[in-house]
Structure 1
Amino acid sequence: MIRIGILVLFFIGCLYTATAQEPKMKKAFNGKNLKGWTVPENNIWWSAKDGLLLAQSGPKKTGNILWTEKNYKDFIIETDFKYGEGTVDTGIFLRNEDQQIQMGISGSLKRDMTGSPYIPGKSYPVEAEGVADVLKPKDWNTIKVKAVANVYTVWINGTEVLNFESADVPEEGPIGLQLHPGNEMQVSFRNIRIGEIK
């Protein structure tokens, strides 16, 4: 009986831990406007229409980052994305500009590095695995990023492609979507959802 009791408690503990790591996901984009995001001054890069968030390079190709108004500690962000015209170099910033998960073509490596972490000064410390097998370059894809302290886990279309332990990670900060400078490009996002891990 004691052994069974211990097993039951162990199972409940595992279930609780799994539940605690999978938060309730909430819409971070209403599909109509940029409410909830810090819109840059003289915005020419970001627009919302028919459920899509469109990032479009400007004539000077200066690039831009669209940040959430809210700061997050541990969280999951999930979004559908679709590459458009041009050389798409985008990504998701995690709490600041020094922690990023790349999406699209790396400007330095000149190849697709979707799902890989980019750290300024360290480039790509590791590369996401198996992305070419699951990524649909001309169709909609889904990326899911879990950030728990300094550990990042990334899924592309439901397949885990990265588990990475970073360094010099801030305790909290906003989440950003990138439009990389120097490129002519379009990328669309939809169904952006964020869940806070307590």
Structure 2
Amino acid sequence: MKAKIICTFLLVNFITLNMFAQEPVLKSAFNGKNLKGWIVPENNIWWSVENGILRAKSGPDKKGSILWTDKEYTDFVIETDFRYDEGTVDTGIFLRNDKEQIQMGISGSLKRDMTGSPYIVGKKYPVEAQNVKDILKPNDWNTIKVIAIAGYYEVWLNSKHVMSYTSDSYVKTGPIGLQLHPNTEMTVSFRNIKIGKM
């Protein structure tokens, strides 16, 4: 078991070093005009586009919603600008499925900002992103970058590394999702969404 953990650690480090040696080309995943390239939920009242900004706003029933890419990814980088606009913002980036995500905003369970931390169903928050309070700009645009290589996740917030975590329950391939959490009143904005395949 110990040997397996060491091998996994060495493999992840090798992949990470190789990744930085060959930074993937990030391509726009949001055209700033409409939701082309994304799977729009039925009877959509949550997601809208205006002036280059993708906005998610809670509906009257606080049902919540997930906006998924229409493409699936294995190893990838996603980078986006985001801004917490109104209410208690609880959002995140889903990583290939709805069981693992990078939290953005206030955790509904912990009642505090957990931006940049991984939320894993069954494990909750196994690690917490570091120094987010000092890095995050309230009521302004911020940039988050997430790298997913198999179950290895890394997060940068405003160009500063805040989190590394290796999941043993990851899904190999799937779409990337943006979350509008249910049971809350909130508005969050995204722009300059870019994705690169590793």
TM-score, normalised with respect to structure 2: 0.90
Cα displacement (A) at 1:19: 3.3
Q: Distance in 1 between matches of 2:168 and 2:64?
A: 26
Q: Secondary structure at the match of 1:183?
A: coil
Cα displacement (A) at 1:66: 0.1
Structure 1 letter corresponding to 2:175: P
Q: Which has the larger radius of gyration?
A: 1
Q: Secondary structure at the match of 1:73?
A: coil
Structure 2 letter corresponding to 1:83: Y
Q: Distance in 1 between matches of 2:130 and 2:191?
A: 24
1:128-171 deviations in whole A, cap 9, x for unaligned?
01111110121100000000111000000000000101111111
Q: Distance in 2 between matches of 1:158 and 1:19?
A: 18
1:75 aligns with 2:72: no
Q: Distance in 1 between matches of 2:81 and 2:102?
A: 15
Q: Secondary structure at the match of 1:32?
A: coil
After superposition, where does 1:116-195 map in structure 2 within 5 Å?
116-195=117-196
Q: 1:18 aligns with which of 17, 20, 33?
A: 20
Structure 1 letter corresponding to 2:72: N
Q: Secondary structure at the match of 2:145?
A: strand
Q: Distance in 1 between matches of 2:130 and 2:66?
A: 26
Tell me, which stretches of 5 or more residues in structure 2 are unaligned? Answer: 1-15
Change (3 A) 1:61 1:50: same
Q: Distance in 2 between matches of 1:185 and 1:48?
A: 16
Q: Secondary structure at the match of 2:68?
A: strand
1:9 is aligned to none
Q: Distance in 2 between matches of 1:17 and 1:66?
A: 27
Q: Distance in 1 between matches of 2:168 and 2:137?
A: 31
2:98 is aligned to 97
Q: Distance in 1 between matches of 2:162 and 2:169?
A: 22
Structure 2 letter corresponding to 1:19: A
Q: Distance in 1 between matches of 2:168 and 2:182?
A: 25
Change (3 A) 1:131 1:36: same
Structure 2 letter corresponding to 1:158: S
1:65-120 deviations in whole A, cap 9, x for unaligned?
00000000000000000001100000000000111000000000000000000011
How many residue pairs were aligned? 183
Q: Secondary structure at the match of 2:21?
A: helix
Change (3 A) 1:24 1:184: same
Cα displacement (A) at 1:18: 2.8
2:13 is aligned to none
1:42 is aligned to 43
Structure 1 letter corresponding to 2:44: N
Q: Greater shift after overlay, 33-42 or 120-129?
A: 120-129
Tell me, which stretches of 5 or more residues in structure 1 are unaligned? Answer: 1-13
Structure 2 letter corresponding to 1:128: A
Root mean square deviation of aligned Cα: 1.3
Structure 1 letter corresponding to 2:184: N
